[in-house]
Structure 1
Amino acid sequence: MATVFGRAALLLVTAASFVTADRVVRFGALSVSNFPAASSAMKIAVEYVNEKQLVPNVTLEYIENTTTPLAFLDMIQHECFQTSQGVVAVMGPILSSQASHNSHTCIPFVQVKAASPVSTGLSLPQIAPEATDPTLGNAQQYPQLVRISWPDSVLSKALIDLLEHFSWDQMSIFVSNDDYGTHGFKEFQDLAGQKGWRIHTIQSFDPTETAADIEVHEQLKAIKDTGTRIIVLHCLASFAAEILREASTMDMTGAGWAWVVSDGVTSYQRDLFKFNDATVTVLDYLQGLVGPMSPSTNGGHSEAFMAKWRSANPVVYPGAGVRDIGPYTARWADAVLALAQALRNLQEDGVTVTPQPLDCGCDGSESRPWVDGSMVLQYLKQVKTDGVTGYIHFDSAGARADAEYNIVNLKSNGWQKVGAWNLPEGLNMNSDGDVKFMGGSTKVDPYVSDLSNRTLRVVTIAADGFVLISDVDKDGNNVTGSDRFQGFCMDLFSWLSTQLGFKYEYYEVDDGHYGIYNSQTGKWTGLVGDVLYGKADIALAPLSITSERQSVGDFTLPYYDNGVTFAMKKTESRTSNTWGFISPFQAELWATILLTALAVGLFQGVANLATKNM
């Protein structure tokens, strides 16, 4: 049966190969047009469940609606339509940001934290095969959400361990400016801060409907200008391909660079490079990427499911009919298997659930939650079963437990496994020789000065102790060029050259001046003038910092201070005695003071007597 709803086709499918069962159970599926492989994995998994009779006496069916990736309003409308058809759960959509928008009803383009999700209002389980946003782990905000993928907070721990393995403590971060990019790397920043690592810059780009339309040149330039050579990239593979293409034109993908990518890049390999069952085409500027990849076929059902996947008609099931399956694509099959196991457990426990048409209330009518929804959710969270990607079970918040990643390195023949990471064991790498970074290098320094391999022209002036200029060395041999210059300033500059990797050549200023502004000519003289007018890159001398000079040039922090001090002779210490109090004045002065006191007393007495006789 096929009808048209909005701008998407409604598909209601029953696996044709399964013998008619006693009961039909349906779930809703929200897919996007540019990721047909996920839809194919879900459909083949439904056929697999029915053929294997994983839920006895039940035929599993799906109602699928397909939209474009950013058509959030359509997704909301489609979900409301699916709930009206009596489904036991809604599966999808593709990404965390889409899952967030999908969790709303009646309010288009509103973030998930701004309104109540559809699944909460209707008490309907929502299974998200690919949602990795850590904020979705809030069970109070998203009580109906069950996630088949591990959250990016766990991915951050794997990335931290990987960077620590290579002794990298400086880096830049480049993420997509959406829920997936910004929320996903908060844990990474916190962990890096705890270790005292330096993140030189965090850049982001705005995702676009078409990956080729993103603008990233300015962000890449900002990263390059920091001097860091370790870039951690967290976005989807389609955007990563464009970012790395642009980076290659800026000389940021050659030897001496390392790009550490998240599983959003490693797990969508068909968006990153071209391959089929016979050949793999990896462009040179992509070779050397390293990062965690979610396993795709480690589960107990992987062999049987992959047999159906490989034999599927790619015309009917786009993306199928090939040897491999991507990790996130395979999780759509895991989502179906998890739902099937929950239904089987309900059946074995004798619990009957009755799907009901549910009204979202978008037209103003009252919405009523599904009375059996909480029971289905409870059994979903208690699922413990084999899947395609691995063993499936969840924690109390509905997140998949026991995370594991393969550590992979992109080479000319595709992704190659070079290690593994899991909770709680952590990182287990092969020998470092197995990892080749960008340009084929086996070691990358986390920080390289922008002065590296540059030759600076340095102007100086003779100054005792600081700069000594002589045509002969201490052994009496003739010297030329930069060898003529010695002193404290030269020793300091030579050390800086070693630390920052630049070369230099000295010359003496022509006019012998430090530099003043000539108001008559309107020009600067001396050292300041040579730097200001481009004759020299740097002036090296004990140069006084004045406000006038600062207005035309930049100074380093002072490395030598000069000042004026008053010096006085130290007085000799004297032995204290009873008459020491008279020592400040000479004897003549004391005699004068005594005579003055007597004279004043005499005159005062005479004056008093005269007053009485009057």
Structure 2
Amino acid sequence: MKQEIAFRYAVDRVNEARIFGPRTKLRPIIDKIPDGDSHFASKRVCALVRSGVSAIFGPQSPKTSAHVQSICDALEIPHIETRWDYRLRRDDYSVNLYPHPSSLSKAYLDLVRSFGWKSFCIVYEDKMGLVRLQELLKTPRRNEFKICIKKIPYGDDFRSILNEIQIRGEHNILVDVRTERVFQVLKQAQQIGMMSGNHNYIITSLDLHLVDLEDFRYSGSNITALRLIDPDRPEVRNLMADWQAGRILYTNKLGDDDIIMKTETALMYDAVKIFVTAIQILDNSTDLQMTPMECEGETPWVYGNSLINFMKVEMSPGLTGIIEFDPRGFRSDVTLDIIELKRTNLQKVGTWRTEKGVNYTLSQKDTHTEEREGLANKTLIVSIAFNDPYIMLAESSERLTGNARYEGFCIDLLSELAEKLKFNYILTPVEGNGYGSIDKTTGEWNGMIREIMDGRADLAMTDLTISYERQQAVDFTMPFMNLGISIMYKKPQKVPPALFSFLSPLSIEVWIYMMAAFVGVSLLMYVLARVSPYEWQNPHPCNPDPDTLENQFTILNCLWFALGSLMQQGCDFLPQAVSTRMVAGMWWFFTLIMISSYTANLAAFLTVERLESPIESVEDLAKQTKIKYGTKSSGTTKNFFKDSNLEIYQRMWTFMETHTPPVFVDSNAAGVERVKTDNGLYAYFMESTSIEYVTERECSLTQVGGLLDSKSYGIALPRGSSNKGYLDVVLLTMQSQGRFHILKNKWFRQKRGGGKCKEEAGGGGGASELNLENVGGVFVVLMSGMGMALAVAIVEFGLECLDIAKEEEAPLREVLKRELIFVLKCKGSSKPVRKKAESDEANGDTEYGSNDYNYTAKNPLT
């Protein structure tokens, strides 16, 4: 009906414009030919020919079109079609304004390539759909795409086919069905959860603007199609305004449905225009006459050949763009609009031309608006996996529901993303192996990656490492945290200070050289004192003419002098000669430097506690077997050792894989517990950020060595998701504002017991107090010296008593008893002088005299 209206309207416009002279006027003849009745079609066309025609438009049925074309070719009457035709060649007197299927198929191939699809599924209605998509099915480059093909069943229920596509995990779908069935397919896809932000659709119908897409505007799905009619072109706007004003006289009903033009209607209007243009040129050059003819006759229309040639040569602008034909009679250099479903409605985002391919023309303003509103008002399903401090159950005395049940670094990060992009989200914990790895038995992904691939989640958030294998299955945003694998181990044990730790400031060699210097200076002082005449002194200053001179620098006195100087205590005698004073001065300078250096270094050695660890790096761990080491039983840390090409890591992987009992654990929490309880016999490989979190709360654990590799955490999305760009922009903004650092400081060092170990370590920053263990050796030296002095005093006491016993010829026991009683009285500070034997016998007195006489005894050191 609409084609008939367009045909009559176009003819009327031509007649009103008086394109021809007053003698010529187009007379449209509308005749309906039943579809499939070839004999009846031939009779109708022959009846038209006998009345005199200059061209025949249609019919639309492919079954009767061939009969009409054969009559037109025989009588040389132009045959003008506006239908989809898959034939590769046409007859000489036929043209078709509808783009050829090969051109449309190439357009869809270019679209698929521009979208970067690596796999997609074709949903078609009949065999002609496969003809329309032949360029996709015979892809130029081998293995460029993975394509599945599904034919929808008869009837109105397509859910079974759509479910099969969903089970395959395919999110890119090309739909080739009649325009009337497009809504049904999309609606049923929406009902089974295939109309989300992860799904992309290409609709092959050129009349998608006729479909009510209101239900899918906010679904987030990317719905793309091609069209021939550009409503923004002046010709189209003017025509639609005329239709809306009611200038069509062939119907009494004008509604909104009539204002929307079908592609074939616009093509019929353009067909009349190019026919009128050609006949006008021919009419200006010759006396054009409509001649009645007979189908059985052998005389063709004399003007038909010229008219069809003018139509093929002349380029004419129409509602469907510039119209020109190739020598075969097919339309060439077709321009198609690329349209996408936006929140407002279908919007033109680019064009496709036969020669140039896809060209996106979305303005900068439109791009900015799309980026700003890309996720607005959408509700995303976010898959999460628990791991402190990224995702945790919230601590609350009240019963929480919904998203409020969870908290952590990733929850805060997601909340900020949602606030900036204005989307909503629902958190769904994943069951089983949360992070996602390839199952050895099935070869399929599990965990969060499986959720994303199956379309059950739009995002996946936790401490999910970006790896090569995962990037083959899903897309990742830019990283929000960088890290690497490191070793978690028990903190090094404090080394007990040695008993003689006060000797540590100087090395053994320095102590030996000091002792040698001490003995050498003493000997040199002794020799020089005996050589120099100025060291021989009068023992009795009151006697000006002494018989002998004494030298106070005996060998023992020289040792005593050097020792007193070394201990910075001085001595009761000093050198007199210049030579001995020079030796003393240099010795004092030496002792000043050495003692100062010793004192300065002693403070550090006595206050700094040394820590002793059996391993300092991964190399130390690899070259021993006493300390076991392992990783989580699945994940990127395990795969790092498994896939590494470095010899040291290959050796460690072999050790871990073959060790009995197993060194792998089910979770990081189990690894931490094993390190704590194995008393330094187990080390656990874990990501550095997780180690940082644990060591803030477990003061007995620490990180050993540097990072073994470099990796990042990201947010996982479905392959080809349009949301990636929006999230990346906001993540970059948050990174530049330092939000990642603030969130990390909050959840790693403050919340849930963070900072505990720093408080225990003491915040003053001063030196630790000295314990008895640090200075115990000094007390031992003191006690040893006291003991040695006591032993020497006892020996001196015994020798003196032995001399007295000999001189007095008294029993030694009596002498010892007498002398010991005197000592133990502890009374008085003077002792009677013991006279020599001769004096005692002369005086007849062998007892001690009065206390008025000083007691003198021989000093073995003098």
Q: Say whether the 8 Å CA contact 1:421–1:428 is kept in structure 2.
A: yes
Residues 463 and 230 of structure 1, relative CA distance in 2, 3 Å threshold: same
Q: Say whether the 8 Å CA contact 2:198–2:221 is kept in structure 1.
A: no
Q: What is the identity, as a one-letter code, of the residue corresponding to 2:6?
A: A
- 1:201 and 2:148 equivalent? yes
Match of 1:416 in 2: 347
- 1:165 and 2:114 equivalent? yes
Q: Say whether the 8 Å CA contact 2:225–2:340 is kept in structure 1.
A: yes
Cα distance per residue 1:283-326 (max 9 Å; x no partner): 76697411222134577754654443232267834667865534
Q: What is the distance in 1 between the residues matched to 2:106 and 2:41? A: 33
- 1:308 and 2:242 equivalent? yes
Aligned pair count reads 404
Match of 1:145 in 2: 94
- CA shift, 1:255, in A, is 2.2
Q: What is the identity, as a one-letter code, of the residue corresponding to 1:38?
A: Q
Residues 260 and 470 of structure 1, relative CA distance in 2, 3 Å threshold: closer
Match of 2:212 in 1: 273
CA RMSD of superposed structures (Å): 4.4
Match of 1:424, SS state, is coil
Pairwise mapping of residues 13-92 of structure 1 onto structure 2 (< 5 A)?
36-57=1-22, 58-66=24-32, 78-92=44-58
Q: What is the distance in 2 between the residues matched to 1:418 and 1:499? A: 27
Residues 468 and 194 of structure 1, relative CA distance in 2, 3 Å threshold: same
Residues 469 and 182 of structure 1, relative CA distance in 2, 3 Å threshold: same
Q: What is the identity, as a one-letter code, of the residue corresponding to 1:293?
A: R
Q: Which of residues 189, 195, 199 is equivalent to 1:253?
A: 195
- CA shift, 1:229, in A, is 0.7
Match of 2:80 in 1: 127
Larger Rg: 2
Q: Which has the higher helix share?
A: 2
Match of 1:522 in 2: none
Q: Say whether the 8 Å CA contact 2:230–2:337 is kept in structure 1.
A: no
- 1:189 and 2:131 equivalent? no
Match of 2:87 in 1: 136
Q: Say whether the 8 Å CA contact 1:300–1:391 is kept in structure 2.
A: no
Match of 1:241, SS state, is helix
Q: What is the identity, as a one-letter code, of the residue corresponding to 1:91?
A: F
User: What is the TM-score normalised by the length of structure 1?
Assistant: 0.56
Q: Say whether the 8 Å CA contact 2:120–2:174 is kept in structure 1.
A: yes
Cα distance per residue 1:502-529 (max 9 Å; x no partner): xxxxxxxxxxxxxxxxxxxxxxxxxxxx
- CA shift, 1:43, in A, is 1.4
Match of 1:157, SS state, is helix
Q: Say whether the 8 Å CA contact 2:110–2:358 is kept in structure 1.
A: yes
Q: What is the distance in 1 between the residues matched to 2:195 and 2:241? A: 38
Residues 187 and 341 of structure 1, relative CA distance in 2, 3 Å threshold: same
Q: What is the distance in 1 between the residues matched to 2:27 and 2:677? A: 93
Q: Which of residues 226, 230, 243 is equivalent to 1:292?
A: 226
Residues 335 and 252 of structure 1, relative CA distance in 2, 3 Å threshold: same
Match of 1:407, SS state, is strand
Pairwise mapping of residues 153-552 of structure 1 onto structure 2 (< 5 A)?
153-179=102-128, 181-190=129-138, 192-194=139-141, 196-205=143-152, 213-262=155-204, 264-265=205-206, 267-270=207-210, 272-273=211-212, 288-296=222-230, 301-302=235-236, 305-312=239-246, 316-317=250-251, 325-350=261-286, 352-359=288-295, 366=296, 368=298, 370-372=300-302, 373-429=304-360, 430=362, 434=370, 449-450=453-454, 464=658, 468=662, 473=671, 475-477=674-676
Moved more, 45-54 or 413-422: 413-422
Gaps of 5+ in 1: 1-35, 107-115, 275-279, 360-365, 480-484, 487-497, 502-614
Q: What is the identity, as a one-letter code, of the residue corresponding to 1:291?
A: A
Residues 227 and 392 of structure 1, relative CA distance in 2, 3 Å threshold: same
Q: What is the distance in 2 between the residues matched to 1:352 and 1:466? A: 102
Match of 2:20, SS state, is coil
Cα distance per residue 1:234-275 (max 9 Å; x no partner): 23321212211222222222221010122x24x2523x118x
Q: What is the distance in 1 between the residues matched to 2:52 and 2:229? A: 34
Q: What is the identity, as a one-letter code, of the residue corresponding to 2:209?
A: Q
Residues 85 and 284 of structure 1, relative CA distance in 2, 3 Å threshold: farther
Q: What is the distance in 2 between the residues matched to 1:221 and 1:77? A: 50
Match of 2:326, SS state, is coil
- CA shift, 1:202, in A, is 1.7
Residues 449 and 388 of structure 1, relative CA distance in 2, 3 Å threshold: closer
Match of 1:338, SS state, is helix
Q: What is the distance in 2 between the residues matched to 1:369 and 1:397? A: 24
Q: What is the distance in 2 between the residues matched to 1:63 and 1:466? A: 94
Q: What is the identity, as a one-letter code, of the residue corresponding to 1:247?
A: A
Moved more, 429-438 or 161-170: 429-438
Identity %: 18
Q: Say whether the 8 Å CA contact 1:281–1:413 is kept in structure 2.
A: no
Gaps of 5+ in 2: 381-420, 422-448, 461-632, 634-655, 679-683, 686-714, 719-862
Cα distance per residue 1:28-51 (max 9 Å; x no partner): xxxxxxxx2222221111110110
- CA shift, 1:85, in A, is 3.5
Q: Say whether the 8 Å CA contact 1:89–1:124 is kept in structure 2.
A: yes
